[in-house]
Every structure is written in C-alpha cells, then in structure tokens.
Structure 1
Amino acid sequence: MPKHLHVISFLVACSLWNMPQAVHAQALIPHTVQIDRDKLETQGLSLAQEAAQLARFREIDMALPRARLATQLAPKNDKVWLLLGGLHLQAKEFDQAIAALQTAQTLNPKNADILFALGSASFQQKKYQAAAEYYQNGLKLTPKDAEGLFDLGNAYYMLGRLPEAIAKFDQAVSQDQKFWPAINNIGLIKYEQGDIQGAVKQWQAAIAVDKQAAEPLLALAVAMYTKGDQQQGLRMGEAALRIDQRYADINFLKENLWGERLLLDTRRFLELPQMQSVLEPQEEGVVIPNSLPAQ
C-alpha cells in the first residue's frame, strides 16, 4: 500500500492554512497603477487554499489552474510550489511535478515534505533507488516521520531489500501505533516469503486498528481461504468488497504492492461465485479486471 501519503497529507494541510482572504481590487486610478505585491501574494495564497480544497475532492482539473496562478502571484512561497507539484503528481504529469518540486526545494531546502514528494515522483516512475534516496534525505530532516519511514520501507520493498523494508515499517508503527498500512505491508512481505501464518497475524493486527480497512481484510480472507478455512475466508472477502470494490481489480492490487504469490491466490479467490455475486454487475456481466494469465 504505497499511497504516497506525504503528497496527500500536504494537500489536505493546505486547506487548513490560516490564510487571509483575497482583497478585492480597488477602483482603477487613471493616472498611475500601483502594484501592491503583498496583496498579490495574499491573493495567491487564497488561490492555493482553493486549489487544496478542490484537491481534497479530487477535482484536480479545477485545482491545477488555481495552483499555477498562485505560483505566479506568490512565486517565493515554497508551499505553493509544493502544492502545484503535488497536483501534477496526482495527475501523473511527472515532468511538470518534478519541475515545480525542484523550484520548491530551491526556495526551501529544509522542507522535508518536498523531498518526500520528489521521492513519490521517483517511486511512481519506478525509479526506486532514487526514491529511496529522496526519502532518506527527508528523514534526515524529520527522522521520526511515520509516513516517511513507511515510504522508505516501500522503496526498499520494491528494491528487494526485504529485511530493511520490514525494519522501516516497524519504525513507522513505533511512531504511530495506528498506522495500519505499515502493518499491512509487513503482511504482504511475509506472504511472499511463504510465512502465511506470519502474514495472517499482521493483517489481523491491521484490522484491529481499523475494522473498515478493506485491504488487510481482503488479504486475510484470501489467506484464510487458501489455508482451508473457506467459510471464514468467504465471509471476510464479502465484507472487504462491500467496503471497497476497487480491491476486486488485480491491477489496483498491484499498484498497492501485492506480490505475485498473493495476486495469484487472490485472482482465484475473486473468481469464486460468492465473490462475483458481491460485485456490481456491468453491462455484459461481472468482469474481474486482471493482468495475470489464466491458470
């Protein structure tokens, strides 16, 4: 479960800025035009706040023009550039995202969130070594950041550095005991290593933190069904898909770092009639999207 939490957290945080409201333009004075740069910056920050609020509702197309204008009105504010970079990241516009984030970093090299966002950009481009380095540098500034530790764990996971990944996930949980995504991802690693019982314990712990977390619930359902506890597995699977049907999409699971062993077991599980019946029917019948070859 990568989630790239720093970008998301920043966009939400922006909406909470205590920014002054934009000042309405005064009547035009015909002889001279006085440019009040403080007022322009205030308007830029207000636009950034609007953009962040729109991003919370995933209105990225509406948020981006406001954020771009905000950077023109408040060009020396690193948070505004970080917001713009985060929006481009959500739109999968990586070149624009990196350009905005690098501007933000130039303005404020000590802002760890910028480094984490650059790490997210690299991670989404599958440049996992570069991502790990950005996350490491961000953690030098904020070493107890649970989300940064989680992100670094994901980068190590994708690099095959599994003991280091588990260590970072454990550190993330030590900083935030309710941070179930890190607990969940330890389960993902253990399952791929063949430690099914160890994975089950992790997913049970994640569900204990958040009973509405569909991801560990579905993973646990698959593990239970595969182990032979079919009725309990089916009940859990139905509950997970009723919470969030995106987890019926194999591609979505791959994006959330599910490994090949778990994906194969999940594909078989999702093809069961009981799981199919939970999913919303489509025009030509229910289809389980997947990118894996038929077994």
Structure 2
Amino acid sequence: MASLQTIGNHQAAEADLKKLNELRAYQEIANLNETISKQPNDARAYYLRANAYRKLQQYQNAIADFTRAIQLKPDDASFYDERGNTYFSLQKYQNAIADFTKAISFNLDNADVYNNRGVAYKNLRQYRRAIADYTKAIELKPKYAIFYVNRGEVYFKASDYQKAIADFTKAIELQPNNANAYFGRGVVYQKQGNDDAALAEYNLAIDKNENFTPAINNIGLLAYEMGNIEEAIKRWQKSIAIDNEIAEPQLALAVALYNKGEKAKGIEMAKKALKLDKNLGELDYLKKNLWSDRLLTDAQKLLENLK
C-alpha cells in the first residue's frame, strides 16, 4: 500500500502535469487562432481548436468550433463524434446521442462510437439500447476489455447478474490487470449478499491498482456492516486521501464519526459531501450504492440532524 506521503507526492505531480497540459492547450489555441485568421474555412483548424478548448473544459467554445467544422465539412464522422463527446461532458445526453448516431451513419464500423452512444444511453437508463450498442462494439472489437466492462455494468443495473459476471470475467480474461472488471464482479457478489466473494474481488482490484478508490470504499462498506468500524474508517480515510473530491466515502466517514460521538465533525463532513453530490442525501440512493442496514440506519440519524 502507498503511504499518505506517497499519495500526496502523486497528487502534486498530477497537479503539475495538469498545469503543463493547460499551458499547452492555451498555446495550441493561440496558434490555431492565427491559422484560422489566415484560413477561415479550414475545418480541421476549428476541429483542433475545439479539442484544445475541451482540454480546458471550455465546452461551449468547443461545441461552437465543432459546429463550425461540421458546417465546413459536414461528412466528417470524427467531428460529430467529438462534438458528441463534448455534449456528453455537459450531460446533454440526447444531443450526444444525436451526434454519435450521425457519426455512425458515416462509418458503420466504428466500435468506439457505438460504445460512446451506449454510455449515453446508460446514463439515460435506456438499458436495452445501451446493451445493443455495447454488443455491436464487441462484435467489431471482440478483444477490447472495456466494452465488456461497460456492458457488464448495464447488465448489473438491469439486474441480469449472471450476464454481468460473464462480461466482467471475459474482460479479466482479455485484460488481467483491469481493476474495473474485478470491481464489477465484486459489486455483483455484494449485491447478491456474497460478502466474502465481494471482498476477495475488491482486494484483487486493489492489487491491480492500489489507489482504486471504488474498491477501497466498498471494503469500508463491508467492514462497517460486519461491525468493524475502525477498519471502515481507515478505508474511507484512504479513499479521501487519494481523491478528496469523491463524495461517497466522505459521507460514509461522516456517518461513522457522528455515530462514534464526534457529532460536530460528522455534520461538517456530511455537509461537504452533500455539496459534492446531493443524491447522497437520499437513503434509497445510498441503498442502490450497496449501503447495508447498519450504515443506512446510522446515516438516517445524521441526515435527520441536517434537516
């Protein structure tokens, strides 16, 4: 396991890399501004500048440039695909689907676009359509593990646990170091009440990626339900040390601290978590995230105090 100091050093390095990439993106935009001023009908230049805007999360500027590129060259599938990805980043899933569909009309054999559209359908809870798109992506790229992971996730959401396990297992066969696939199997086992099998899968996920916070968080959920509160706290603290913008372990830790008697600290942490993800304030949502009876009961006490 990485020490907290190692995690801190890693986060600092990531921050430095982010700044460097931002500087490069601004330089790309400056260069492309000059190109476009000289060649205002250069579709490729608008496309490249749009991608630079995306790197800076300036999504509206990116969409404007992708749209201009499409106006200049309306038969380029990649323009629609990338604008679709930008709409996806804005959670405008219907717009994204429309663009992915247009991209597919120009290139029926692009597995990645089927996958992208499948993810958008998943987020709209249109699971049949998502499964159909993932299946098409798999037909086109049968050795691409992420497509099986994505389809397995939707099978899980559709409560088809046997098919979910089969897809996660296939992903592991293709890519044995895929932490997401082990985690996916763990989630299915946990949902089925097979906590020992779930724990084994989560540990395998962490073996592949020691900073894989979803598995670390869920081990905390299992530990809390078994009454091992200190172990749960330790796991959630580790998740937060890795990424302090993830809301769920912060709320879980807040619940644990509140019910240990550290009420003020628990309330403060809970408020921060709910600012990051307001859905965590709903017990039904927590239950879907595999929070079990003990943690849900304790969460209710804290959440009622926040009202």
The two structures have a TM-score, normalised by structure 2, of 0.72
How many Å separate the matches in 1 of 2:103 and 2:273? 41
* Structure-1 residue corresponding to 2:192: 159
Is the contact made by 1:204 and 1:220 (CA closer than 8 Å) also made in structure 2?
Answer: yes
* Structure-1 residue corresponding to 2:152: 119
How many Å separate the matches in 2 of 1:103 and 1:244? 33
How many Å separate the matches in 2 of 1:140 and 1:99? 22
* Structure-1 residue corresponding to 2:277: 244
**Aligned ranges for residues 22-37 of structure 1 at < 5 Å?**
24=72
* Structure-1 residue corresponding to 2:301: 268
How many Å separate the matches in 1 of 2:289 and 2:203? 18
- The runs of 5 or more residues in structure 2 that have no matched partner are 1-53, 56-65
1:76 aligns with 2:109: yes
The two structures have a TM-score, normalised by structure 1, of 0.75
2:261 to 222, 225, 228: 228
Is the contact made by 2:149 and 2:180 (CA closer than 8 Å) also made in structure 1?
Answer: no
Identity %: 31
* Structure 1 residues 105 and 213: alpha-carbon distance in aligned structure 2, compared to 1, 3 A threshold: closer
* Structure-1 residue corresponding to 2:221: 188
2:165 to 132, 143, 146: 132
Is the contact made by 1:191 and 1:262 (CA closer than 8 Å) also made in structure 2?
Answer: yes
* Structure-2 residue corresponding to 1:290: none
Is the contact made by 1:51 and 1:64 (CA closer than 8 Å) also made in structure 2?
Answer: yes
The C-alpha deviation readout for 1:264-292, integer Å capped at 9, x for no partner, is: 211121101xx22xxxxxxxxxxxxxxxx
* Structure 1 residues 237 and 61: alpha-carbon distance in aligned structure 2, compared to 1, 3 A threshold: same
State the structure with bigger RCO (CA 8 A, min sep 6), 1 or 2. Answer: 1
How many Å separate the matches in 1 of 2:116 and 2:241? 34
How many Å separate the matches in 1 of 2:154 and 2:278? 27
How many Å separate the matches in 1 of 2:272 and 2:140? 47
Is the contact made by 1:169 and 1:183 (CA closer than 8 Å) also made in structure 2?
Answer: yes
**Aligned ranges for residues 247-258 of structure 1 at < 5 Å?**
247-258=280-291
Is the contact made by 1:225 and 1:234 (CA closer than 8 Å) also made in structure 2?
Answer: yes
* Structure-1 residue corresponding to 2:137: 104
- The runs of 5 or more residues in structure 1 that have no matched partner are 1-14, 26-38, 277-295
Q: CA deviation at 1:134?
A: 0.6
1:205 aligns with 2:225: no
1:48 aligns with 2:81: yes
Q: How many residues align?
A: 242
SS in 2 for 1:271: helix
* Structure-2 residue corresponding to 1:177: 210
Letter matched to residue 124 of structure 1 = K
Q: Which structure shows the bigger proportion of residues in helix conformation?
A: 2
- The answer to which of 222-231 and 85-94 deviates more is 222-231
Is the contact made by 2:70 and 2:79 (CA closer than 8 Å) also made in structure 1?
Answer: yes
Letter matched to residue 152 of structure 2 = G
The C-alpha deviation readout for 1:209-246, integer Å capped at 9, x for no partner, is: 22333211211111122233333323332333344333
- The answer to which of 241-250 and 263-272 deviates more is 241-250
How many Å separate the matches in 1 of 2:250 and 2:140? 43
CA RMSD of aligned residues (A): 2.2
